[in-house]
Structure 1
Amino acid sequence: MMNGPIDIQLKSIQQKLQQLLKQYQTVQKENAQLKKEAEKQKIIINSKTEQIELLQQKLDAVQVGVNNWSDDEKINLQKRIDTYLKEIDKCLSLLNAE
């Protein structure tokens, strides 16, 4: 008779251990998935950081180039742009007239 309650307790402990083991395995799988996702995000962040750095370098180069222009060069560029815009407007007018 003494074995009866002990057997019941042992079975209860075994069931609880099995539940804990299943929970542990589930958590391990979830952890592995989260680690993979974190690694993917890290790679994306590194890529975006590199893109930002390249764009910043390009922006810096453009700003340095424009800042080194004389006032005459800037005025000439503005005149060329205005001329191009007028030509574009003429072309659009001709296209709309047809």
Structure 2
Amino acid sequence: MSHLNEHISRVNEKLQLLLKQYHTLVKENDRLKQDLEQIKASEQNMKEKAAGLQQQVEIAKISSGQAGQEVKSELEKRINTYIKEIDQCIALLGNQ
């Protein structure tokens, strides 16, 4: 009977150890998920900054006369799109 008790005791100890490891891994997993979300947010922020800087470079090239025709036409398309959106907004405000 004592052999059975010893075996049950060892199984219980191993189970406790596994539970402790499980909880540790769950905590680490949660921390890693939070880190990943922060990194994703940081990456998105960096992409937005890079896009803004790229636009500034294009504007600087255009204003200094160094831009090619392709860049100028792209900027012109973008400006026309903005103007159309503004016109639509004005029209919607006028209908109210």
TM bucket normalised to smaller = 0.5 to 0.7
Identity %: 30
The match for 1:38 among 26, 36, 39 is: 36
SS in 1 for 2:6: helix
Q: Which has the higher contact order (CA 8 A, sep 6+)?
A: 2
CA distance in 2, matches of 1:5, 1:60: 81
* Structure of greater Rg: 1
**Residues 45-93 of structure 1, C-alpha deviations (whole Å, 9 max, x = no match):** 100110110110111111022126xxxxxxxxxxxxxxxxxxxxxxxxx
CA distance in 2, matches of 1:64, 1:6: 85
CA-based RMSD of the aligned residues comes to 1.6
Counterpart for residue 15 of structure 1 = 13
Opposite residue 38 of structure 2, the aligned amino acid is K
CA distance in 2, matches of 1:63, 1:6: 83
TM-score normalised by the chain length of structure 1: 0.63
CA distance in 2, matches of 1:13, 1:60: 69
How many corresponding residue pairs? 67
Opposite residue 45 of structure 1, the aligned amino acid is E
TM-score normalised by the chain length of structure 2: 0.65
Unmatched tracts of structure 2, length 5 or more: 67-96
1:34 Cα deviation (Å)? 1.1
